């Protein structure tokens, strides 16, 4: 028999409640279906991923009384990649009394996203932001404090208020450990069952609803079936498609891609964030790149030499008048805190002009000389000590003495599974949260907003929207589906066949998964990276197809089907190859520039992104049509009732 692949038939319905912007979420909650406490224990929910969104959702759903099954690829839920977020989390607390409000956070985020996000989702995010801070403090998250005992704030790019809360340079770690603690509390109570070392390889659809998943136990190789009444994917972003990125080694697209292949539409795959401040690439052996937090731009000044011939000189010998503080020059009102997409492109421009520094010429300086002179070295150490140490370890250079060298690198993906206002994908009963969905950041994410979105989705959105789903479909969902159902049978068979195929081909070929992966990354970085053109994107598609063929016929793999990291990598590369094709197609289709998506054919006379609101103010939601085949686009028009679309200027 064939398994259900759900063709997309309807019109994309965002499900945003009617009424004024600031009342929409209240109105959703007032009208949602509830599940009474005694019935809650009759439902089970699968949550895949234990980062901020997944960990928070699993803990919060369990607290409500649902039986939660929590899956992660690591040995422990505490290792999800949210842990690596450094700088901070935004919230419209307005503690510094500097004019912040939910409205302003909403507006900054919509504008930061270059007017390509859904208004209602972003407003809800801004509203939830203050509760997140209260929640985390109650959990004992040790945020930075002032001598008064009150919480400290710093500024981040794209905002003129100080609304970022932080825990040294380890904010993601502390927030994640907060969510992890809450999760472990529920495990102890028996409301959450942990499934570590599990990779999700398929969603199981029964009678048009997501009723379970197929997983592989990474420590034993076993293929398993898990049934539930709703499935939440909180499996992060797909930045690793570039091979070199700041994402963790095991971050991947597989869970959401397999859901996409089952019928969940994929939103805005070409929207990728290239972070301006990363440690530059140093050689072909590198496996990943390291971010230097955006918070450094609070005190560091970005510059390159004015003259090309100065580029190889010792920077301390270059006098003030020969330095080009290009962000301060081009964007005087935001200066070094210009948003990420803009700062990244500005760095690329300087390097393209031949004014890049360092061995490769692909780097710019981030200089703390003036801040150290102004505040003293101890103050700078207090603020950024761990980041400076990290830089020192990697580059063998002391950033207290020599300016840091930085260059943009892939950091975050704004695209992801298309979801409606309730974070439900186009597959009923399948939800996507955090970086795995497309929803809140438009075409560019502002700094310190990813942590906010992950926790908002997990703590304060899904507990309501999953309840609404279970309540609405109670009659059907109370008829339990077990894992003997034919849909599980055939999904498992397909998963096994996929792995078997990789192992078989792997016996005969000559190229390792990593070699193909690295080649794919180069194509995607060069042609679907910081600057995109019709010609380059078409070339990318041709090269990706070649690599797909290479993978299908010439893969080299050793080891067995038990614990085998290279087999895991191979499975993920198979999905990345398909995703890369879709990214190119989406980027080709969007013949405008917006946020992180910069089409060379669409720029203003001074080289800024030129949007085309008349034709492209929509979400591109793609439907999968088969490996190597073009996908079909469905469009959700973006309706702006509260903000006026304008040129996004930081000058």
Partner 1 sequence: MSASNSKTMNVRLKIWRQEGPSAPGAFEEYSLSGILVDMSFLEMLDTLNEKLIHEGKRPVEFESDCREGICGTCSLMVQGQAHGPVRGATTCQLYMRSFQDGELITIEPWRAKAFPILRDLITDRRAFDRIQMAGGYTGAKTGPHADANAILIPKDIADRAMDAAACIGCGACVAACPNASASLFTSAKVTQFALLPQGHADRKRRVIRMVDQMDKEGFGSCSNLQECEAACPKKISIQNIAIMKQEYLKAAISADFRAGLGSADGGA
Residue of 269, 236, 239, 271 lying closest to 255 (CA atoms): 236
> Among residue numbers 446 through 465, which ones bind partner 1 (CB under 8 A)?
459-460, 463
Is 336 near partner 1 (CB under 8 A)?
no
In the complex, minimum distance from the CB of residue 566 to partner 1, in angstroms, rounded to a whole number = 6
Site for partner 1 (CB under 8 A): which residue of 193, 490, 566, 612? 566
In the complex, minimum distance from the CB of residue 459 to partner 1, in angstroms, rounded to a whole number = 5
Is 323 near partner 1 (CB under 8 A)?
no
Site for partner 1 (CB under 8 A): which residue of 112, 113, 358, 571? 358
Is 151 near partner 1 (CB under 8 A)?
yes
Distance (Å, rounded) from C-alpha 172 to C-alpha 425?
26
Task: Give the pair of three-digit tokens for residue 426.
Answer: 């186009």
Site for partner 1 (CB under 8 A): which residue of 187, 206, 281, 531? 187
Distance (Å, rounded) from C-alpha 543 to C-alpha 95?
52
Site for partner 1 (CB under 8 A): which residue of 26, 322, 353, 397? 397
Among the residue ranges 106-114, 390-398, 412-420, 427-435, the one whose residues contact partner 1 (CB under 8 A): 390-398
Distance (Å, rounded) from C-alpha 568 to C-alpha 424?
28
> Among residue numbers 398 through 417, which ones bind partner 1 (CB under 8 A)?
405
The CA-atom distances, in angstroms, between 478 and each of 382, 395, 464, 471, 481 are 55, 58, 19, 10, 9
Is 428 near partner 1 (CB under 8 A)?
no
Q: What are phi and psi of 617, to 5 degrees?
A: -80, 65
Is 249 near partner 1 (CB under 8 A)?
yes
Closer residue to partner 1 (CB): 176 or 338: 176
Distance (Å, rounded) from C-alpha 43 to C-alpha 447?
37
Is 499 near partner 1 (CB under 8 A)?
no
Closer residue to partner 1 (CB): 303 or 459: 459
Task: Give the pair of three-digit tokens for residue 649.
Answer: 């200027």
Among the residue ranges 57-65, 120-128, 321-329, 574-582, the one whose residues contact partner 1 (CB under 8 A): 57-65
Closer residue to partner 1 (CB): 50 or 298: 50
Among the residue ranges 100-108, 165-173, 480-488, 545-553, the one whose residues contact partner 1 (CB under 8 A): 165-173
| Bridge pairing between strands 192-195 and 67-71 | parallel
Site for partner 1 (CB under 8 A): which residue of 34, 394, 600, 639? 394
Among the residue ranges 139-147, 367-375, 428-436, 610-618, the one whose residues contact partner 1 (CB under 8 A): 139-147
Distance (Å, rounded) from C-alpha 495 to C-alpha 491?
6
Asked if 635 and 12 touch (Cβ cutoff 8 Å), the reply is: yes
Closer residue to partner 1 (CB): 219 or 553: 219
In order, the DSSP letters of 116-131 are -S-HHHHHHHHHHHHH
> Among residue numbers 93 through 112, which ones bind partner 1 (CB under 8 A)?
93, 95
* 3-state SS, residue 322: helix
Among the residue ranges 81-89, 235-243, 410-418, 641-649, the one whose residues contact partner 1 (CB under 8 A): 81-89
Distance (Å, rounded) from C-alpha 336 to C-alpha 325?
9
Site for partner 1 (CB under 8 A): which residue of 558, 604, 646, 649? 558
Task: Give the pair of three-digit tokens for residue 484.
Answer: 């003997």
In the complex, minimum distance from the CB of residue 416 to partner 1, in angstroms, rounded to a whole number = 20
Closer residue to partner 1 (CB): 268 or 456: 456
Closer residue to partner 1 (CB): 147 or 605: 147
In the complex, minimum distance from the CB of residue 277 to partner 1, in angstroms, rounded to a whole number = 14
Closer residue to partner 1 (CB): 217 or 533: 217
Site for partner 1 (CB under 8 A): which residue of 16, 35, 77, 272? 77
Closer residue to partner 1 (CB): 290 or 533: 290
**Distance from chain centroid for Cα 12:** 23
Distance (Å, rounded) from C-alpha 231 to C-alpha 44?
9
Among the residue ranges 523-531, 550-558, 589-597, 598-606, the one whose residues contact partner 1 (CB under 8 A): 550-558
Distance (Å, rounded) from C-alpha 417 to C-alpha 233?
9
> Among residue numbers 270 through 289, which ones bind partner 1 (CB under 8 A)?
282-283, 285-288
Residue of 263, 305, 251 lying closest to 85 (CA atoms): 251
> Among residue numbers 212 through 241, which ones bind partner 1 (CB under 8 A)?
219
| CB count in 10 Å sphere of residue 476 | 14
In the complex, minimum distance from the CB of residue 645 to partner 1, in angstroms, rounded to a whole number = 35
Q: Give me the sheet containing 198-206, strands edge to edge.
A: 198-206, 209-217, 223-227
Closer residue to partner 1 (CB): 16 or 567: 567
Q: Give me the sheet containing 272-278, strands edge to edge.
A: 272-278, 404-413, 364-367, 301-305, 323-324
Annotated catalytic residue, options 240, 340, 532, 572: 340
Site for partner 1 (CB under 8 A): which residue of 35, 89, 133, 231? 133
How many chain residues interact with partner 1 (CB under 8 A)?
A: 88
Using the CB atoms, write b or e for 235-266: b if 16+ within 10 Å: bbbbbbbbbbbbbbebbbbbbbbbbbbbbbbb
Read off the DSSP letter of residue 70. E
Q: Across 562-617, where does the E strand assignment appear?
A: none
Among the residue ranges 110-118, 142-150, 225-233, 478-486, the one whose residues contact partner 1 (CB under 8 A): 142-150
Q: For residue 340, indicate whether it is catalytic.
A: yes
Distance (Å, rounded) from C-alpha 123 to C-alpha 581?
33
| Spatial CB neighbours of 152, under 8 Å, sequence gap ≥ 6 | 143, 144, 145, 146, 165, 166
Is 146 near partner 1 (CB under 8 A)?
yes
> Among residue numbers 584 through 643, which ones bind partner 1 (CB under 8 A)?
none
Distance (Å, rounded) from C-alpha 562 to C-alpha 323?
56
In the complex, minimum distance from the CB of residue 582 to partner 1, in angstroms, rounded to a whole number = 26
Read off the DSSP letter of residue 56. H
Exposure on the CB side of residue 67, measured as CA atoms within 13 A: 12
Q: What are phi and psi of 276, to 5 degrees?
A: -70, -25
Q: Which residues are catalytic?
A: 340
């Amino acid at each position: 028999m064939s398994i259900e692949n759900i063709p997309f038939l309807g019109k994309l319905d965002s499900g945003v409640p009617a009424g004024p912007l600031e009342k929409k979420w209240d109105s959703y909650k007032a009208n949602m279906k509830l599940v009474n406490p005694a019935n809650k224990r009759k439902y089970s929910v699968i949550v895949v991923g234990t980062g901020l969104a997944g960990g928070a959702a699993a803990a919060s759903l369990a607290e409500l009384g649902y039986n939660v099954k929590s899956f992660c690829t690591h040995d422990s839920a505490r290792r999800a990649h949210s842990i690596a977020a450094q700088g901070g989390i935004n919230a419209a607390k307005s503690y510094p009394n500097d004019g912040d409000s939910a409205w302003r956070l909403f507006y900054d985020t919509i504008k930061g996203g270059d007017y390509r996000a859904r208004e209602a989702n972003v407003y809800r995010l801004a509203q939830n932001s203050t509760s997140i801070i209260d929640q985390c403090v109650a959990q004992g998250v040790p945020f930075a404090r002032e001598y008064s005992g009150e919480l400290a704030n710093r500024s981040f790019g794209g905002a003129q208020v100080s609304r970022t809360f932080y825990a040294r340079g380890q904010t993601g770690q502390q927030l994640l450990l907060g969510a992890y603690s809450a999760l472990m509390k529920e495990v102890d109570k028996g409301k959450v069952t942990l499934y570590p070392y599990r990779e999700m390889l398929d969603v199981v659809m029964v009678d048009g609803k997501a009723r379970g998943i197929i997983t592989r136990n990474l420590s034993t190789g076993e293929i398993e079936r898990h049934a539930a009444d709703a499935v939440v994917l909180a499996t992060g972003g797909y930045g690793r498609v570039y091979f070199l990125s700041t994402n963790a080694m095991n971050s991947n697209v597989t869970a959401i891609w397999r859901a996409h292949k089952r019928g969940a539409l994929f939103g805005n795959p070409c929207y990728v964030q290239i972070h301006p401040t990363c440690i530059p690439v140093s050689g072909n052996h590198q496996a990943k790149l390291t971010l230097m937090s955006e918070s450094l731009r609070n005190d560091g000044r970005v510059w390159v030499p004015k003259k090309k011939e100065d580029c190889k000189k010792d920077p301390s010998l270059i006098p003030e008048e020969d330095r080009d503080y290009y962000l301060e020059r081009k964007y005087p009102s935001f200066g070094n805190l210009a948003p990420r997409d803009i700062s990244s492109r500005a760095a690329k421009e300087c390097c393209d002009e031949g004014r890049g520094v360092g061995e490769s010429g692909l780097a710019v300086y981030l200089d703390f000389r003036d801040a150290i002179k102004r505040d003293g070295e101890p103050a700078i150490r207090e603020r950024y000590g761990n980041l400076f140490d990290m830089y020192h370890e990697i580059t063998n250079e002391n950033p207290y003495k020599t300016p840091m060298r930085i260059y943009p690198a892939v950091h975050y993906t704004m695209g992801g599974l298309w979801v409606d206002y309730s974070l439900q994908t186009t597959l009923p009963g399948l939800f996507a949260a955090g970086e795995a969905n497309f929803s809140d950041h438009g075409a560019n994410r502002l700094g310190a907003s990813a942590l906010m979105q992950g926790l908002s989705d997990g703590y304060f959105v899904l507990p309501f929207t999953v309840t609404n789903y279970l309540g609405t479909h109670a009659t059907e969902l109370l008829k339990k589906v077990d894992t003997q159902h034919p849909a599980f049978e055939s999904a498992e068979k397909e998963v096994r066949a996929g792995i078997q195929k990789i192992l078989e081909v792997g016996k005969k070929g000559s190229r390792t998964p990593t070699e193909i992966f690295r080649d794919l990354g180069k194509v995607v970085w060069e042609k679907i990276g910081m600057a995109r053109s019709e010609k380059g994107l078409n070339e990318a598609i041709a090269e990706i197809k070649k690599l797909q063929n290479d993978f299908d016929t010439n893969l080299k793999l050793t080891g067995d089907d038990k614990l085998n990291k290279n087999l895991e990598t191979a499975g993920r590369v198979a999905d990345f190859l398909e995703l890369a094709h879709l990214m190119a197609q989406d980027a080709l289709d969007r013949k405008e520039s917006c946020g992180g998506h910069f089409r060379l054919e669409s720029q203003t006379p001074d080289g800024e992104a030129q949007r085309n609101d008349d034709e492209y103010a929509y979400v591109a939601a793609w439907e999968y049509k088969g490996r190597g085949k073009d996908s079909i686009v469905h469009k959700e028009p973006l309706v702006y009732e509260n903000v006026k679309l304008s040129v996004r200027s930081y000058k």
